[in-house]
């Protein structure tokens, strides 16, 4: 992290050849080295300005030649993510669907370890998380207002809002800004929760 701070600081600060820079990442990481990078503005899932560019929009899928019936079906599998007022698709899963005969399958969630998220969550408010995701897997949303998108990995015991923010940033939940609630975005992610996360959480709680 120290190297990254020095690298970004030298590249961005006092660089006469640079007018403006865009740093793209999954989450807004709270680290001391970020203070070395001056005048940064963060655009997250909580605002609309660049929301259509965080994924592939519904209109862009139509432009790819997907008819309305197929669009409704694929939206249930890989859509459902919200940035501000915009709904977007998971780009990796959608493109995999398009290039593999338009057959719905597990794409994005199949590229990661099936244990990293359960292992992370077992240290943070296990009983509360269990209740919440029982509600979510029944197709409901969970009301919670998220006001910060920063992630501080040095903290040992995250509270509920920080856990939910992390799960939104990593794509395992989506945040409905107007409703002030989180929900599971689509069938692909729901499959991951049902088959990998919840069984491990149950085993850790018993």
Express each pLDDT in 160-183 by its tens digit: 888 888 889 888 999 998 899 999
pLDDT at 150: 77
My answer on whether 177 and 124 are in the same domain is yes
pLDDT at 62: 95
My answer on whether 92 and 132 are in the same domain is no
Express each pLDDT in 128-154 by its tens digit: 677 777 788 788 899 999 888 777 766
Closest C-alpha among 107, 98, 108 to residue 66: 98
Higher-pLDDT residue of 83, 51: 83
pLDDT at 49: 77
For residue 41, tell me if it sits in a domain: no
Give the DSSP letter of residue 40: -
For residue 98, tell me if it sits in a domain: yes
Burial classification of residue 56, based on how many CB atoms lie within 10 Å of its CB (0-12 exposed, 13-18 middle, 19 or more buried): buried
With bands split at pLDDT 50, 70 and 90, how would you rate the model's confidence at 206?
low
Two structure tokens written together for 183: 């929900």
For 174, other C-beta atoms within 10 Å of its C-beta total 24
> Is the pLDDT confidence value at 127 over 70?
no
> Is the pLDDT confidence value at 34 over 60?
no
Two structure tokens written together for 134: 């029982």
Output b/e per residue, 83-111; b: 16+ Cβ within 10 A.
Answer: bbebbbbbeebbebbeeeeeebebbbbee
Domain carrying residue 16: 2-36
For residue 143, tell me if it sits in a domain: yes
My answer on whether 139 and 175 are in the same domain is yes
My answer on whether 201 and 131 are in the same domain is yes
């Amino acid at each position: 992290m120290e190297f990254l701070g020095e690298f970004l600081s030298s590249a961005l600060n006092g660089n006469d050849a640079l007018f403006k820079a865009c740093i793209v990442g999954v989450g807004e990481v709270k680290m001391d080295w970020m203070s070395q990078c001056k005048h940064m503005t963060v655009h997250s899932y909580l605002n609309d300005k660049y929301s259509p560019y965080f994924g592939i929009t519904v209109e862009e899928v139509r432009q790819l030649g997907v008819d309305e019936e197929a669009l409704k079906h694929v939206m249930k599998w890989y859509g459902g993510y919200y940035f501000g007022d915009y709904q977007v698709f998971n780009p990796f899963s959608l493109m995999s669907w398009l290039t593999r005969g338009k057959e719905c399958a597990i794409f994005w969630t199949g590229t990661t370890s099936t244990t990293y998220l359960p292992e992370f969550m077992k240290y943070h408010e296990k009983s509360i998380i269990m209740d919440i995701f029982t509600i979510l897997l029944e197709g409901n949303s969970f009301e919670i207002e998220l006001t910060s998108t920063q992630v501080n990995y040095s903290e040992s015991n995250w509270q509920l809002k920080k856990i939910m923010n992390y799960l939104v940033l990593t794509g395992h939940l989506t945040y409905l800004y107007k409703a002030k609630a989180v929900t599971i975005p689509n069938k692909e992610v729901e499959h991951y929760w049902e088959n990998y996360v919840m069984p491990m959480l149950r085993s850790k709680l018993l």
